Amino acid sequence: MTGFDPIEMLRRADPLDPLEVPKDTTGAHARALFQEVTSMDVKEQEKAPRRPQPLLRRVAMGVGLAVFAAAIAGGAYALLKDEAEEVIVGGEPIGGDSMGMCLQYTEEMLANQEFAFDGTVVSIDEAAPQPGIDVPGVTVTFEVHRWFRGGEGSTATFDANGLVGETSLALTGPGLEVGQRYLISGTDSFVWGCGYSLTYDTAVADHWAELFAA
């Protein structure tokens, strides 16, 4: 069975006329802008000149540069949001992404997880190694702020082999740390990494609430 690809549909629905996009920098606007920009002093405190026929028509250029500098310093944030809501931006897959040992992430598999919750790590303990696994056994205890599925109570402990610190198998993403907040999912008594558990993110939490309630 073939489904449709929403990305491909979106690509075909590009609102921009390709003929309107310059293919190179030989056009009049591109040439004029290049001349304007390269005539500017490289010192940042100099504002863009204001002219009656401006190519650089930005008012208060210093404001734009300040926003840029603050954004670089502040890290990721949804700059295009209109409302100034308090959100936590995270969403980093625990133990990495699709490299190496990771299963492919799919929403179908996430929706079929036996447990899922929003929780903060309160302790990490060694456990006896699992048969056939080369890394030490690890159990992680969470303070659960919200169950999406498969549990109740304010604490829960799960196996988290390979998802803690230097024993992280994938070595490309964050591991579980005491005091940090996550969105956790898994099956049986095992926490899954690779997109199935992530650093806490407000938007992802909303999505999980909807997904697991369905």
Partner 1 sequence: MNEGHGERVERFRVLYDAAYPRLMGYALRRARTRDDAHDVVADTMLIAWRRLDDIPTDERRMAWMYGVARRVLANQYRSTDRRDRLTDRLEHQAPAKPGDFDVVHEALDRLRADDREILTLAAWDDLSNDEIAVVLSITPGAVAVRLHRARTKLARELARLGVGSPAEKSMKSESRSRTPEGVYGIQPGPGEVERE
Which is nearer to partner 1, 61 or 124 (by Cβ)?
61
- Pick the stretch among 119-127, 134-142, 156-164, 199-207 that binds partner 1 (CB under 8 A): 199-207
Quick check: 12 binds partner 1 (CB under 8 A)?
yes
Say if CB 139 and CB 127 are below 8 A apart. Answer: yes
- What is the torsional sign of CA 48, 52, 55, 58? positive
Selected from 53, 76, 86, 152, the binder of partner 1 by CB under 8 A is 76
Footprint (CB under 8 A) of partner 1, residues 91-120 = 91-93, 96-98, 103-109, 111-112
Selected from 130, 153, 162, 203, the binder of partner 1 by CB under 8 A is 203
Quick check: 143 binds partner 1 (CB under 8 A)?
no
Which is nearer to partner 1, 119 or 195 (by Cβ)?
195
The answer for 130, left when phi > 0, alpha when psi is -120 to 50, beta otherwise, is beta
CA–CA–CA angle 106, 111, 113 (5° rounding): 100
Selected from 55, 127, 135, 171, the binder of partner 1 by CB under 8 A is 55
- Pick the stretch among 10-18, 114-122, 134-142, 149-157 that binds partner 1 (CB under 8 A): 10-18
Query: How would you label 185-214 residue by residue, b for 16+ Cβ within 10 Å and e otherwise?
Result: bbeeebbbbbbbbbbbbeebbeebeebbee
- Measured CA to CA, the distance from residue 110 to residue 53 in angstroms comes to 55
